[in-house]
Structure 1
Amino acid sequence: MAAIRKGENPASADTSSDKMESVQESHSEVTDLDKVDRDPATNRLAYAQNMSQEEYLAAEKSLKWKLDYRLLSMLWLIFILNYLDRKNIAAAKVAGMQEDLGLSSTQYATSIALLFVGYILMQLPSNIYLAQVRPSVYLPTVMMVWGAISALTGICNNAGGLYATRFLLGIVEAAYYPGALFLLSSWYRRSELGFRGALLFSGSQIGSAFSGLIGAGIQRGMDGVRGLESWRWIFIIEGAITVFVAFCAYFVLPDWPSTTKWLSPSERAVAEWRLIQDAGQVDEDDESWSYGFGLCFKDWRVYIFALMLLCVQVSSATSNFFPSVVETLGFSKVQTLLLTVPPYMVTLAVSVANNYSADRLQNSSFHIVWPMTMAILGYIIAATTTGVGPRYFAMIIMLAGAYGSNAVLVAWTQKTMLRPRIKRASAVAFVNGFGNIAQVFSSYLYPDESAPRYVLAMATNSGFALVAIVLALFMRFVLLQANKKLSAGDSAVGEVMVGEARAEIQGISEEERRTRKEGFRYIA
């Protein structure tokens, strides 16, 4: 295949005039890989622009394979363990923890809420810090700490000890999910991000499902081993597994596209250039962290995304009590824990398929609306019938609906709040942290005495799901209006993107881009 014209991008030939002028002028021909590896980032970008189409596509294919194999798969495995350590308290309750510790239903709900208090407080500071350090060191370190805290929960003897460990667990776990999402968005294009985000988020369903399976196995085979109740072994065993995987993660996770040593120089060059193509700006921060932080909170759209996620999180709060909800069907403890698995497996399939569709169709809003509608149907059925079949069906679709829209929404936030790096990190942390406020107050919607229908909880979940639908449609309208302004040339990219873009984007002035009427468009 013939080499492409100098500066022409092989993945999008019609963007050849959109290359960075500073790179073009300073490095008209860069072909020495050793020099690329030694010299500043501009040399790598110039090298990527001067690659032949065959070279570029081969480097991109190798890059994406390495990212999926090392980055995505490790983040996915960690997220499974993240949810195991977060949700194992629900399995422990069914296994007898509440009775052994003498907890009332309110005290149990408080232990759930306290985790999310710590989780909310640390999201934003953690993600800002992560954007300035090495993710390959920071994320495994916090994982090792939360694994140790989870294991220590198994030696609690009263409500106070449980409160302390759950609060500390929330503080440390706060670093992971927004940090993982931010790291993914630092490597993948917007068209690739939603599906990868869904694969990552599928770890939550698998972790929740395995929590029931592991809990059932431990309940059956380890109750009384070494004088410990089975619920204590749930915490100890799962925490120990987390610590071991955290140690392995030190050697697997990457840092940033410009600094990851296990990529070749050409792969690093392609990694950086892909992000410039996608958003029109290098994914680095020239300013201090306060610059991007300020841009985040000046952008009013971040508050709409945050409120939308809060509504989605309220609608998915059932997951914190799911084994208890399934227990109302009247089966044994082991059967109850096993019955929690199929709903999470259906949820996994729905979530991945929905996010894949959102990426392929370049649409986020409708992929939030339809799962929320399905969840509302599940809540109505659960609140209005006591039949085993209909209630179990309701449990399946309420989980699939609530979780099916969650990953789409978080990915949509990142696709909208792109640059600079600190703005994106701040936005995803704030949105996720604010959304999880729902987990604090919703923990009190499921008192034991409201079983089996949990009418108040189901009505609340339905109401918040409806608000999420309205907000998704409103944000769709807002972003489509912004796209119309860009297409008409009525506004500069930097104006519409609320400071995310500057005049030097891809070497094209705002005036020129206004005239050209092409380039960046929001995904609605």
Structure 2
Amino acid sequence: MTFAKKIRVILWGERPSTHEERKLLFKIDWFVLSFVCLQCVLSVSVRFTSEAIAFRYFSNYLDRANLANAYVSGMKEALNMTGHDFNTVSSMFTVGYTVAQIPQNLLLHVVPPRILFPMNTLIWGSLTMVTAAATNARHLYVIRFFQGVAEASTFVGAHFIMGSWYKESELGKRGAIFSSSAQVATIFSGVLQASIYKNLDGLHGLAGFRWLFIICGLITVPIALYGFFFFPDTPQTTSARYLSPEEKSLAISRLPPKPQTKLDWSLIRRVLGRWRIYAMCLICFQIVGGELESIGSNSLMALWMKASVAPKYSIQNINYYPAGGTALAIVALLATAVWTDYTTKRYQVNFLIAVCMLISSVILLVYTPISTAGKFFAFYLAGVSYAGQASNFGWCNDLARDDDQERSVILAAMNMMSNAFNAWWSIVFFAANDAPRWRNGMISIIILAPILVGLTVGTRILQSRDQRRASRSQGEGQSGLESKDEATI
């Protein structure tokens, strides 16, 4: 193998051996990966040219980010919002998003994804435009709750679909590209909001924040049409015309064989009777690993800069400097994905996250003798915590490949636990008025980092045990067939 070929294999994986599989993989990337990624990324210019196309998940993410921007750009006064109204509006979205996680993702086994995703896209887009007509905070409570319900299948549904099409050696990088798209979205969301507010505020008598919701809603319409006509569902159910009958068969045969399972009452026993949901959802990823993202997910760097007395940062710098952490998150997602697909050891990413977060939190806990450059380093290093979004969802797809319905429930529960747990964790440990230090929050991270290592090791031991049992069963089954053949002869 040449050096160049070896580098290519490390970066993008082994090239399929046949022309037919290479062609199929290209189509999967084009129609599956592009769809879920472009849900996260908004390609837009300030003039909204023909390239201004956004896919639903980023539009949703953009709207959540710009709800805060809209709040400080006139929505507070226009809707007479007082007290904790803004926090309640945000919480209503979280409630809807959380309670709908498992039901929405089980619907993927009843309603074809090419129908469910576009339908939720249109519902979300319509509700976004309706937000522009809200006249009080109570209207926003209802709108945001149902927006959360409509969005519940987007992130987890994308991971489920990717796990249905891609091999274990292909999944990590695709999952990282998808997760990176959400990080890229955070960089551009403020730019789009500023452009809309600057150019459209007052147009036809509408405030800039109302135009923001109208435009974010409108751009979901072509995305819904794209998904309806081109999204290929799963290999077992696809009716995509751009896939030949041979390619549909190959899409199924290239993945490991699995028993036929169905959506019925036995799912409760299958999910709760196995260790996988407890390891992946309750401990290994979201309750521990998810909270290690707290420095980034709670925008602590921006709050620290705003509370800083010396040096004093401008509003512009407060908006721009934290993007360094987002950039490192993207690098960490992609770099660890390359490693995990090459080694097939996704659990190792949790060790990296634990070490980086331990270093970051210790620096920010010590705080006073640390230089400004050292604190910047600590905040940026915390971006590595996001690497678990791709590796742990990919790990879940690997663990539960033998049961599609269980896999769907676990993926949804992982996201559900993240939202439910973070709803109170961030308030207790990372309140905004604790800036600039968050002493209790940093102590919590120092405690959680080694716990993540221990739980990851335990989960890996259970995974290895199940793999050995499966290998023995397969070997015994093969021996039985050979003995039967010999007796027949």
- Shared fold, TM over 0.5: yes
Q: TM-score, normalization: structure 1?
A: 0.75
Task: Give the structure 2 partner of residue 300 of structure 1.
Answer: 275
Structure 2 CA distance for aligned equivalents of residues 123 and 256 of structure 1: 19
Which of 67, 70, 84 is the equivalent residue of 2:31?
70
- 2:92 maps to 1:114: yes
Alignment of 1:407-486 (within 5 A): 407-445=390-428, 446-485=430-469
Alignment of 1:300-449 (within 5 A): 300-307=275-282, 308=284, 309-322=286-299, 324=303, 327-328=306-307, 330-385=312-367, 388-398=372-382, 400-445=383-428, 446-449=430-433
Structure 2 CA distance for aligned equivalents of residues 222 and 388 of structure 1: 39
Counterparts in 2 of 1:245 and 1:376: CA distance versus 1, 3 Å? farther
Q: How far does residue 332 in structure 1 lie from its aligned partner after superposition?
A: 4.1
Q: How far does residue 169 in structure 1 lie from its aligned partner after superposition?
A: 1.8
Q: How far does residue 76 in structure 1 lie from its aligned partner after superposition?
A: 0.6
Counterpart amino acid of 2:190? Answer: G
Counterpart amino acid of 2:358? Answer: I
Deviations 1:432-488 (A, max 9, x none): 22232123213424444222223344433444444323211221222233344556x
Task: Give the structure 2 partner of residue 290 of structure 1.
Answer: 265
Structure 2 CA distance for aligned equivalents of residues 110 and 141 of structure 1: 27
Which of 230, 236, 243 is the equivalent residue of 1:263?
243
Contact 1:195 1:355 in 2 (8 A): yes
Alignment of 1:175-324 (within 5 A): 175-218=153-196, 220-258=198-236, 259-261=238-240, 262-275=242-255, 278=256, 280-281=257-258, 285=261, 287-307=262-282, 308=284, 309-322=286-299, 324=303
Which of 464, 477, 487 is the equivalent residue of 1:510?
477
Counterparts in 2 of 1:321 and 1:430: CA distance versus 1, 3 Å? closer
Counterpart amino acid of 1:401? Answer: V
Q: How far does residue 219 in structure 1 lie from its aligned partner after superposition?
A: 5.1
Q: How far does residue 413 in structure 1 lie from its aligned partner after superposition?
A: 1.0
Structure 2 CA distance for aligned equivalents of residues 319 and 230 of structure 1: 28
Contact 1:106 1:444 in 2 (8 A): no
Structure 1 CA distance for aligned equivalents of residues 396 and 253 of structure 2: 22
Task: Give the structure 2 partner of residue 34 of structure 1.
Answer: none
Counterpart amino acid of 1:379? Answer: S
Structure 1 CA distance for aligned equivalents of residues 315 and 108 of structure 2: 41
Counterparts in 2 of 1:485 and 1:248: CA distance versus 1, 3 Å? closer
Structure 1 range deviating more: 405-414 or 320-329: 320-329
Structure 1 CA distance for aligned equivalents of residues 184 and 85 of structure 2: 27
Counterpart amino acid of 1:410? Answer: F
Structure 2 CA distance for aligned equivalents of residues 234 and 324 of structure 1: 25
Structure 1 CA distance for aligned equivalents of residues 76 and 432 of structure 2: 12
Contact 2:109 2:263 in 1 (8 A): no
Contact 1:116 1:170 in 2 (8 A): yes
Structure 2 CA distance for aligned equivalents of residues 102 and 395 of structure 1: 36
- Aligned-partner SS, 1:358: helix
Alignment of 1:84-163 (within 5 A): 84-92=62-70, 95=73, 106-163=84-141
- Aligned-partner SS, 1:257: coil
Q: How far does residue 221 in structure 1 lie from its aligned partner after superposition?
A: 4.5
Counterpart amino acid of 1:291? Answer: S
Q: How far does residue 227 in structure 1 lie from its aligned partner after superposition?
A: 4.9
Structure 2 CA distance for aligned equivalents of residues 256 and 448 of structure 1: 43
Q: How far does residue 338 in structure 1 lie from its aligned partner after superposition?
A: 3.2
Contact 2:96 2:146 in 1 (8 A): yes
State the identity as a percent.
26
Q: How far does residue 424 in structure 1 lie from its aligned partner after superposition?
A: 1.6
- Aligned-partner SS, 1:79: coil
Contact 1:306 1:431 in 2 (8 A): yes
Structure 1 CA distance for aligned equivalents of residues 316 and 26 of structure 2: 40
Contact 2:296 2:325 in 1 (8 A): no
- Aligned-partner SS, 1:401: helix
Counterpart amino acid of 2:425? Answer: S
Counterparts in 2 of 1:102 and 1:402: CA distance versus 1, 3 Å? farther
Structure 1 CA distance for aligned equivalents of residues 482 and 357 of structure 2: 45
Contact 1:91 1:211 in 2 (8 A): no
- Aligned-partner SS, 1:251: helix
Counterpart amino acid of 1:406? Answer: Q
Counterpart amino acid of 1:337? Answer: N
Q: How many residues align?
A: 440
Counterpart amino acid of 2:20? Answer: A
Structure 1 CA distance for aligned equivalents of residues 203 and 114 of structure 2: 37
- Aligned-partner SS, 2:230: coil
Counterpart amino acid of 1:316? Answer: E
Task: Give the structure 2 partner of residue 59 of structure 1.
Answer: 20
Deviations 1:176-224 (A, max 9, x none): 1111111111111122112211111112111222223323434555555
Structure 1 CA distance for aligned equivalents of residues 83 and 340 of structure 2: 40
Contact 2:95 2:148 in 1 (8 A): yes
Counterparts in 2 of 1:514 and 1:246: CA distance versus 1, 3 Å? same
Counterpart amino acid of 2:253? Answer: W
Structure 2 CA distance for aligned equivalents of residues 342 and 379 of structure 1: 17
Deviations 1:103-123 (A, max 9, x none): 678544443333222112111
Counterparts in 2 of 1:213 and 1:379: CA distance versus 1, 3 Å? farther
